[in-house]
Structure 1
Amino acid sequence: MKLHHFLLFIHLAGVVVWVGGMAFAHFCLRPAALALPPAQRLGLWRAVLGCFFRIVWVAIAVIVVSGFAMLLEVGFAQAPRSWHVMAAIGLLMAAIFASIWFGPWRALQQAVAAESWAQGAQALNLIRQRVTLNLVLGTLTVALATLGLAY
């Protein structure tokens, strides 16, 4: 096994965890959670996102380190333009995730602790909007990587 294969594997594993987790949350968990009363729904989201967001931080680290290692392996100047586009989108996604972590995620935790369901719902809505944006960007990046545009 070559180093490149290992880097590609851990890179893709990080992408699968992050993008797949967002897809699951958006298309499966969200519709099911809507049937719950606000206190239970927001408590569920706090618990689920608390676990998922810690995993996302690890995934981001793995994706960024492995991605830049692969870029260095071939040289930035020799890498296909689409790799640079994927790197830029990935860094934008990481910034959007950081904005979730330091903004509405903290607000959601505080609202649930204070049983302020209206504030919690507002925070959760901001999280949903930003996760939706990241899901679109992540899907675009996967398309760049797999539709013959990345090489």
Structure 2
Amino acid sequence: MSLAIALHLLASTIWVGGMFFAYMALRPVAAGLLEPPTRLTLWARVFERFFPWVWAAVLVLLGSGLWMTFAVFGGMAGVGLHVHLMMALGVIMMLIFLHIYFAPYRRLSQAVEREDWPAGAVQLGLIRRLIGINLILGLLVVVIASGGRYFP
């Protein structure tokens, strides 16, 4: 159980922390300093390096979460409402990530390769909004995970 909790926390920290850094620190600086060709290329390369970590985090979160739920607590009936909420929000986050990865991120990468900066900007704007939603959901999951069992 301790290993599953540790892996679960590490995976969520990598994913949510990465989104927080990208959204709250890197995005405003890049938008203020870089022209579209450089900014879009930067983001395509950042995602190229960050998304494998997100894939790993998703797999670890699913594996450790399901293991704890079914092997330790005997299934969904054995966990509290906060775990149900965490799972639901986590699945939504994963679906949003899958959409980002297979749709706007692919189109952003292709636009950068073609040097089609207007098309790339559209895709980056969509990715920004979706990551913003995922960041809010991720922070909500952190609150639920850390305090959920203390709520009535």
Report the TM-score range of the alignment, normalised by the length of the smaller protein: over 0.9
1:82 is displaced (CA, Å) by 1.0
Residue by residue, what CA displacement relative to the aligned partner does 1:8-31 show, whole Å, maximum 9, x if unpaired?
000000000000000000011101
Query: Partner residue of 1:150?
Result: 149
Q: 1:33 aligns with which of 30, 33, 48?
A: 30
Alignment map for 1:103-114 (pairs within 5 Å): 103-114=103-114
Taking only aligned residues, the RMSD between alpha carbons, in angstroms, comes to 0.8
Q: Does 1:69 align with 2:82?
A: no
- Residues in 1 aligned to 2:136 and 2:149: alpha-carbon distance in whole angstroms: 18
Residue by residue, what CA displacement relative to the aligned partner does 1:87-140 show, whole Å, maximum 9, x if unpaired?
111011000000001110001001000000000000000000000000000000
TM-score normalised by structure 2 residue count: 0.94
Aligned residue pairs total: 147
- Residues in 1 aligned to 2:11 and 2:83: alpha-carbon distance in whole angstroms: 16
- Residues in 2 aligned to 1:23 and 1:120: alpha-carbon distance in whole angstroms: 22
Provide the secondary structure at the position in 1 that maps to 2:34.
coil
Structure with the higher fraction of residues in helix conformation: 2
- Residues in 1 aligned to 2:34 and 2:118: alpha-carbon distance in whole angstroms: 15
Q: Is there any run of 5+ residues in structure 1 with no aligned partner, and where?
A: none
1:146 is displaced (CA, Å) by 1.1
The 4+ residue runs of structure 1 with deviation greater than 3 A are none
- Residues in 2 aligned to 1:150 and 1:109: alpha-carbon distance in whole angstroms: 42
Alignment map for 1:6-85 (pairs within 5 Å): 6-34=3-31, 35-72=33-70, 73-75=72-74, 76-85=76-85
- Residues in 2 aligned to 1:58 and 1:142: alpha-carbon distance in whole angstroms: 19
Give the counterpart letter for 2:141 in structure 1.
Answer: T
Q: Is there any run of 5+ residues in structure 2 with no aligned partner, and where?
A: none
1:84 is displaced (CA, Å) by 1.1
